[in-house]
Amino acid sequence: STAEKPVLLNNIADAEAFVSGAEVAVIGFFQDPRSPEAEQFRLAAGQIPEVPFGLSSSAAVLSHYGASASTVALFRTVDNDRRDLDMNNREVDAKKLTRFIRMNELRLVTEYDPVTAIGVMQSSLQFNLLLITDKMSPKHPERMHKFRAAAELYKGKILFILLDSNLKSNERVLSYFQLKKSQLPALAVFHTPDDEHDVLTVDEISIERLQDFCNNFLQ
């Protein structure tokens, strides 16, 4: 049977375990779990199967998180950030809630597209590392495996971003880093406050090479 969505969180310990157990977790704080807002929340939960949704009506849990009723909070471990959406506004429906989550669900490795770009730009992390590559390449799964392993080492320091060179909307990024498709795959590290950046074209990706590239730039 499919897991019940959203998960009911009746106490603080359950809620904390729920948040810490996922890269991205969403909790709806509702005084009345059968309110119209809570129903819209359930609809959104059904549309985003890969993100865990929790729901709490416990006054202790609401107080613990400093949440007002009819608020949806998105927690992400990558930069230890939290984003809130007020559902007291009647115009917030499942569609708007789904967009809010898609915009803000930064993961250890976030795939860059016009929707996730908003969350990337608003991230509290000042360093971004881009893997610019062709997702259709037979080597892609192996590259991603190593890129993801390196991302674990820099959690809370560097936001790791996958940029698919096949996407037309990403061509601007290639030109920004003065890269041609023939030079890919490439790594680009970026410091957002001052646009300082460095680019490395790579045939093969290794965790050691990623670490050297990141550490040199951080220094």
Q: Tell me: the pLDDT tens digits for 12-33?
A: 999 999 999 999 999 999 999 9
Asked if residue 125 and residue 65 are part of one domain, the reply reads: no
- Any idea what the CATH number is for the domain that residue 83 is in? 3.40.30.10
Asked if residue 212 and residue 125 are part of one domain, the reply reads: yes
* Residue where one domain finishes, among candidates 104, 135, 154: 104
Residues 6+ apart with CB under 8 A from 40: 87, 92, 93, 94, 97
Within a domain: 214: yes
Residue 3 has pLDDT above 60, yes or no: no
* Mean pLDDT to the nearest integer, 27-47: 94
Residue 100: per-residue pLDDT? 94
Asked if residue 154 and residue 71 are part of one domain, the reply reads: no
Within a domain: 1: no
Q: Which residues of 25-50 are buried (b: 16+ CB within 10 A; e: fewer)?
A: bbbbbbeebeeebbebbbebbeebee
Asked if residue 213 and residue 125 are part of one domain, the reply reads: yes
Phi, psi of 136 (to 5 degrees): -85, -5
Q: pTM here?
A: 0.83
* Residue where one domain finishes, among candidates 104, 120, 153: 104
Mean pLDDT of the chain: 93
Asked if residue 126 and residue 67 are part of one domain, the reply reads: no
Residue 83 has pLDDT above 70, yes or no: yes
* pLDDT tens string 94-136: 999 999 999 999 999 999 988 898 889 889 899 999 999 999 9
Residue 88: per-residue pLDDT? 86
Residue-number span of the structural domain to which 132 is assigned: 109-218
Within a domain: 168: yes
Asked if residue 29 and residue 121 are part of one domain, the reply reads: no
Within a domain: 174: yes
Asked if residue 98 and residue 115 are part of one domain, the reply reads: no
> Taking the alpha carbons of 209, 137, 134, 114 in that order, is the dihedral positive or negative?
negative
* Residue where one domain finishes, among candidates 84, 104, 124: 104
Domain count, the chain: 2
Residues β-bridged to residue 26: 53, 74
Within a domain: 2: no
Asked if residue 209 and residue 116 are part of one domain, the reply reads: yes
Residues 6+ apart with CB under 8 A from 167: 113
Asked if residue 118 and residue 75 are part of one domain, the reply reads: no
Residue 2 has pLDDT above 60, yes or no: no
